[in-house]
Structure 1
């Protein structure tokens, strides 16, 4: 969060106010080095920069130590824009299946790798079945029961838009491999899209 915040201000040239262009460019170059250091998981550097963190019900307010930040940027505390020193970031708890995650900043769901792997396997199993390979043979090769293959193969019959959403991570976060395996998936693609795609 802090690295993103500083990087945004550096790219907009809004780290400092009322400085000449060469001093702003110097501060921005040093800010980029600081951002790289923070992204390399330097806990000491981050701990030194933080002055105060306040957690509210919907946002985190973070204040940076102006003197430490100025040492890193090569500027005076009076030169810093106040918006650089203190900023707010939204946070929320999102549920994905049985787990809960704390999401800080804008929520961008990533692809569910377990669901993607299962979708890929289901396509492979259905292709083998279409080529005449017996269900028991596929199950034995995988080391599972035929029922395991049967309940998961139904994922190949999901609507194309739902399958695309699974692959690019835009499917409704409530859609998990376990949920799809256990549920009776409606055969109508429009119904599936209304159930599984984000509004």
Structure 2
């Protein structure tokens, strides 16, 4: 049924076979309009670890439970820090290195809008825990929201 699939940067093009569609519908080949057999769909790529997903435009992301858990975890770390615990104590209690605690603590300062997007599975495809840890995130929430729309 599929005659051709073309994958280009940000664009997926699928062409169906006129003869196969006509046969499937039980009609003559000339009754099937060739223009109706071509589909072009914009997409984005989302990577998480070794996993890569192709997200078609309009398709919502599945909730990233790992990312949601990480957001909750760093909020707990932030509570411990503001409660007077040292990075060393937090690291020991959670089986992490001090460096890792310090690194992921920045993740506690995502804007409420961004956190809501993550919880609802509406975050930009690139916005993963790994991306947040490797890229600088503006401290100002308004700037964050603009940054995530344009990154």
TM-score by length of 1: 0.55
- The equivalent of 2:137 in structure 1 is 185
In the TM superposition, what is the alpha-carbon distance from 1:107 to its structure 2 partner? 4.3
1:55 counterpart = 2:9:
no
Alignment coverage as a number of residue pairs: 138
C-alpha distance in structure 2 between counterparts of 1:185 and 1:140, whole Å:
27
Which residues in structure 2 correspond to 1:31-180 (within 5 Å)?
51-56=1-6, 58-63=12-17, 64=20, 67=23, 69=24, 77-78=26-27, 82=32, 87-91=37-41, 94-97=44-47, 100-103=52-55, 105-110=56-61, 111-180=63-132
Q: Which has the larger radius of gyration?
A: 1
Q: Provide the alpha-carbon RMSD of the alignment.
A: 3.2
Go from structure 1 to structure 2 and tell me whether the alpha carbon gap of 1:102 and 1:62 turns closer, same or farther (over 3 Å shift).
Answer: farther
For structure 2, the 5+ residue unaligned runs are none
C-alpha distance in structure 2 between counterparts of 1:140 and 1:166, whole Å:
28
What is the SS of the residue equivalent to 2:4?
strand
- Deviation track 1:79-120 (CA, whole Å, cap 9, x = no partner) reads xx958xx744434553335765434x5442413333222111
C-alpha distance in structure 1 between counterparts of 2:87 and 2:147, whole Å:
29
What is the SS of the residue equivalent to 2:59?
coil
For structure 1, the 5+ residue unaligned runs are 1-50, 71-76
Higher fraction of strand:
2
Higher fraction of helix:
1
TM-score by length of 2: 0.69
CA contact (8 A) 2:3 2:16 kept: yes
